[in-house]
Amino acid sequence: MFFERNSHSEITSPKDLGYIKQVALSLNRIASWPLTKSKANKKYTFSVKRNIAYILFEAILLFLQATYVRNYKHTLSFFKMGHTYITSAMTVICLQRLTMPWLNQYREVAREFLEKIHLYNHKNKSDYAMKVYSRVEKICIFFTLFIHYQMYTGILLFNITPWYKNLKAGMFSSNKPSNGTFEHAMYLELPFDYLTNFTGYIFVFILGWVETYTVASTFCLGDLYLSLIVFHIWGNLKILKHSLESFPRINNQRMTKIERSWYTKVESEHISLLIKEIVNHHRLIMDFMSKTSNTFSFFLCIYFAFHQIIGCILLLECSKLDSEALGKYGPLTVLLFQQLIQISVIFELIGSQSETLIDSVYGLPWECMGLKNRKLVLFFLQNVREPISLKACGMVSIGVQTMAAIIKASCSYFIILRTFTSNEEMTSG
């Protein structure tokens, strides 16, 4: 199983770790893992033909959903229209994520993550680095297991709920209700009847499972992949901070009240190498974060806009408070809000950890160093003052404050829509 530890003899690179293999396998199922080695040019690529097939499939479904809304917007109930808006918006996000492997930056970030940033590459630096690596590995294994469980549970509930309602309504019996129609996980504009015809129902039912799996995979696995990157950046920052805090100090016996003690020439050369190593480690993290932010900038902007719009619609769907609404939309609402909170809190880890580096750098014994090493420390101090964070569209930092603003806005929109639908029901009644 992917959550089990591999024996150390089997691991020669991060790609051999169980949870990385599972993420690669799951993303490969939707042709979105960007690190498949091409035999022709020996470059990292992805399953291009299958990816195109998935994109075409999602594009066709999005068109059919949009056509369905256009044709029946005057006859559909507010809640059923909301359901179609939700599935259409999720299809849009799914399409956007399926195109990510086409970006060279995306593939480069994935390669650099495994070859440079992953803590497997830093675990032998010190005992503390090995300790951080072991802790982050446990977190990643648990998180991978949790997200996969969450994904498959969501897929099951979203499709089983309408099926159960059809069963309960007697739609599968020989004496179907005269005006009864089949419930579906999604609604499309098709040239045949799938609302009352059983054969048409089976076709759309199977199509719904395929679509739900694809959408859930892009949502959950996309967030999982980005979260794993963040966990390892956080681990790198922990190692960097420990390197600063355990920096060699002058022996107290050499300190006198009359004259200041300085590092000896041999010590200064060693100190210079240590500072350069720390600076290079920090530069590696900063460069990778810059690439990651640029790669996922538009992705995060679309994703957070989706949460702000769809969050209020999901709350509205759940506001009916009957078993059908809670069974169908409750898990999806919890899942999406949990993903928003989860990814925001995880991103906040980087910002809070990077802020602690400033005091650690200033705490270096720079007063005992020569001019050359002092310049290096001053240069490093100026660099660490720049906060490390991921930004949506290069403007909005992703963190707890952004998450709180989105949830607050979604709740406000929900109250407005709920008032509107209540007034509409009273008028029609």
The pLDDT of residue 232 is above 50 = yes
The pLDDT of residue 330 is above 80 = no
Q: pLDDT-derived band of residue 26, with 50, 70 and 90 as boundaries? A: very high
Distance CA 364, CA 248 (A): 9
Q: How many CB atoms lie within 10 A of CB 210?
A: 11
Per residue in 253-304, pLDDT tens? 445 444 456 777 787 788 888 888 988 998 999 889 888 888 888 888 888 8
pLDDT of residue 389: 72
pLDDT of residue 204: 93
pLDDT of residue 325: 64
At residue 150's C-alpha, the angle toward residues 51 and 26, to 5°, is 30
Closest CA to 105 of 296, 298, 390: 296
**pTM: predicted TM-score of the whole model, two decimal places:** 0.85
- Per the prediction, the chain carries an average pLDDT of 82
Three-state DSSP state, 45: strand
Interhelix angle 371-384/323-362, rounded to 10 degrees, is 160
Q: pLDDT-derived band of residue 357, with 50, 70 and 90 as boundaries? A: confident
Amino acid, single-letter form, for residue 218: T
Distance CA 122, CA 116 (A): 8
Looking up tokens 């999901």 gives 314
The pLDDT of residue 341 is above 90 = no
The average pLDDT across 224-236 equals 91
Of the two residues 41 and 201, the one the predictor is more confident about is: 201
Q: How many CB atoms lie within 10 A of CB 124?
A: 10
Distance CA 199, CA 202 (A): 5
- Residue 296 · residue 396 · CB < 8 Å: no
- Residue 44 · residue 25 · CB < 8 Å: no
Residue percentage of the chain with pLDDT more than 70: 86
Q: pLDDT-derived band of residue 2, with 50, 70 and 90 as boundaries? A: very low
The pLDDT of residue 155 is above 80 = yes
Per residue in 125-146, pLDDT tens? 889 999 999 999 999 999 999 9
Of the two residues 69 and 400, the one the predictor is more confident about is: 69
The average pLDDT across 326-352 equals 77
- Residue 56 · residue 247 · CB < 8 Å: no
Structure tokens at 229: 């990157």
Three-state DSSP state, 153: helix
The average pLDDT across 231-245 equals 90
Q: Give the DSSP per-residue string, 356-404.
A: HHHHHHHTS-GGGS-HHHHHHHHHHHHHHTSPP--EETTTEEPSHHHHH
Query: Which letter, b or e, does each residue of 373-389 get, where b requires 16 or more Cβ atoms within 10 Å of its Cβ?
Result: beebbeebeeebeeebb
Burial degree of 326 (CB within 10 A; 0-12, 13-18, 19+): middle
The pLDDT of residue 7 is above 50 = no
The pLDDT of residue 38 is above 70 = no
- Residue 346 · residue 227 · CB < 8 Å: yes
Q: pLDDT-derived band of residue 119, with 50, 70 and 90 as boundaries? A: very high
Structure tokens at 95: 């399409």
Looking up tokens 């480690």 gives 281
pLDDT of residue 355: 79
- Residue 5 · residue 18 · CB < 8 Å: yes
Looking up tokens 């994904």 gives 151
pLDDT of residue 37: 54
Give the CA diameter of the chain.
Answer: 103
Distance CA 214, CA 14 (A): 26
Cα torsion at 328, 333, 334, 340 (round to 10°)?
150
Cα 117 from chain centroid?
Answer: 17
Three-state DSSP state, 44: strand
pLDDT of residue 400: 79
- Residue 191 · residue 257 · CB < 8 Å: no
pLDDT of residue 58: 94
